[in-house]
C-alpha cells in the first residue's frame, strides 16, 4: 500500500518551465527595445556610426565670385573705341554752287563743322535736349567758386526717365588746357544733375572758346548714339558751368 506525504512542499513540475518562459519574454522585450532604439537613432541621424548603410555625403555648395562690371566699362583699352573718330564730312570740301558766287562768306563753310551736318538727326537715338547748351554759374561746386570750369548734364529717354550706364565722351581743344584723347564718363555718376547725371571738369578757371569742344553719347560697344555736340565756353565766373542735356528721340 502506497503512502502519501501530504507535507511535501516541493514545487510543482511545471514551475521551471514557467520561469524559463518569463525569462525568454523579458529577453525578447529587451531585444525589441534595443531594435527600437537602434531604429530611432538611425532614423534621426542617418550619418550615425551605427548605420551600416549611411547615405552618400552631399557635395559642398560652390560659391561664385561677385561680378563688378563697372571696372570693365570705365577702364577702356585704347583700341576699344575706333568708331569714335568722325568720318570726314563732305562739307569739308564743298563743291562750288551757283549760290556761292555772290556770297563770299557762306554760313555752310564753317571752320569747325559739326557732325550733325553729315547725318540726318533721325539716324541717332539721342539728340540734344531743347534749351541745351546753356551757361550758368558754378552751382554744384560753390566751395570752388570761380576756380573751376566744367560741363555736365543728364540723359533722358522718350518718357523723360533717366538713362544710366551710357558712355559720354568729351573731345576737342581748349586754349591752355590739354584734353585727354579718350576723355570719358558714365551717365549716372554725377547725381547733382539728376539720376542720369554726368560731369567733366575742364579747367581751374573760366576760359573762353568758340565751339572747339564737343560731347557725344556712346553705347557700351563704343558706337555713337548721338551726334557730336559742339559748345562754347566763357571767361566769366557767371558762365563757368555749361549744361548739356540729351533726350532720346527714337
181/232 same-domain check: yes
What's the confidence (pLDDT) of residue 125?
Answer: 96
Cα-based distances in Å from 96 to 103, 111, 134, 144, 193: 11, 17, 35, 50, 45
- Rounded Cα distance between 191 and 74, Å, is 17
- What is the separation of C-alpha 92 from the centre of its chain, rounded to a whole number of angstroms? 40
CATH number of the domain encompassing residue 167? 2.60.40
Domain that holds residue 79: 72-87+118-248
77/35 same-domain check: no
**How many CA atoms, within 13 angstroms, populate the side-chain half-sphere of residue 7?**
0
166 located within any domain: yes
108 located within any domain: no
212 located within any domain: yes
C-alpha cell at 233: 565756353
- Rounded Cα distance between 188 and 217, Å, is 13
131/180 same-domain check: yes
pLDDT tens over the chain, length 250 residues: 555 455 555 555 568 888 988 899 999 999 899 888 888 887 888 777 777 777 776 666 666 666 555 554 555 555 555 455 455 555 555 555 544 444 444 444 344 444 444 445 458 999 999 999 999 999 999 999 999 999 999 999 999 999 999 999 999 999 999 999 889 999 999 999 999 999 999 999 999 999 999 999 999 999 999 999 999 999 999 999 999 999 999 9
169/45 same-domain check: no
Report the domain count for the chain.
2
41 located within any domain: yes
Q: What is the dihedral of CA 217, 221, 224, 230, to 10 degrees?
A: 40
Quickly count helices (H) and strands (E) in the chain: 2, 10
161/237 same-domain check: yes
82/173 same-domain check: yes
200/78 same-domain check: yes
What's the confidence (pLDDT) of residue 103?
Answer: 47
165 located within any domain: yes
- Partners of residue 241 on adjacent β-strands: 136, 150
H-run or E-run covering 61 = none
- Rounded Cα distance between 141 and 130, Å, is 25
What's the confidence (pLDDT) of residue 42?
Answer: 78
81/36 same-domain check: no
2 located within any domain: no
C-alpha cell at 17: 518551465
pTM for the structure as a whole: 0.52
125/49 same-domain check: no
46/130 same-domain check: no
44/136 same-domain check: no
163/42 same-domain check: no
What's the confidence (pLDDT) of residue 46?
Answer: 79
98 located within any domain: no
What's the confidence (pLDDT) of residue 93?
Answer: 53
Helices (H), the chain: 15-44, 70-74
CA-based radius of gyration for the chain: 44
- Rounded Cα distance between 163 and 109, Å, is 35
197 located within any domain: yes
Amino acid at each position: 500500500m502506497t503512502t502519501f506525504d501530504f507535507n511535501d512542499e516541493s514545487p510543482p513540475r511545471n514551475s521551471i518551465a514557467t520561469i524559463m518562459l518569463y525569462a525568454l519574454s523579458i529577453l525578447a522585450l529587451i531585444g525589441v527595445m534595443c531594435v527600437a532604439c537602434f531604429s530611432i537613432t538611425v532614423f534621426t541621424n542617418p550619418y550615425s556610426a551605427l548605420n551600416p548603410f549611411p547615405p552618400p555625403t552631399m557635395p559642398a555648395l560652390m560659391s561664385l565670385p561677385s561680378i563688378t562690371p563697372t571696372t570693365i566699362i570705365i577702364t577702356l583699352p585704347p583700341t576699344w573705341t575706333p568708331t569714335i573718330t568722325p568720318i570726314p564730312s563732305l562739307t569739308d570740301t564743298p563743291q562750288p554752287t551757283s549760290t556761292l558766287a555772290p556770297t563770299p562768306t557762306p554760313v555752310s563753310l564753317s571752320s569747325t563743322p559739326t557732325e550733325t551736318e553729315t547725318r540726318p538727326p533721325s539716324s541717332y537715338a539721342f539728340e540734344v535736349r531743347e534749351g541745351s547748351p546753356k551757361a550758368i554759374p558754378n552751382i554744384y561746386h560753390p566751395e570752388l567758386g570761380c576756380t573751376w570750369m566744367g560741363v555736365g548734364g543728364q540723359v533722358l529717354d522718350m518718357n523723360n526717365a533717366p538713362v544710366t550706364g551710357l558712355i559720354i565722351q568729351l573731345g576737342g581743344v581748349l586754349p591752355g588746357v590739354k584734353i585727354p584723347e579718350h576723355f570719358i564718363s558714365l551717365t549716372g555718376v554725377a547725381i547733382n544733375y539728376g539720376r542720369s547725371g554726368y560731369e567733366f571738369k575742364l579747367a581751374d578757371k573760366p576760359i573762353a572758346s568758340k565751339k572747339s569742344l564737343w560731347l557725344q553719347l556712346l553705347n557700351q560697344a563704343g558706337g555713337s548714339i548721338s551726334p557730336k555736340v559742339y559748345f562754347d565756353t566763357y571767361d566769366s565766373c557767371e558762365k563757368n558751368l555749361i549744361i548739356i542735356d540729351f533726350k532720346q528721340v527714337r
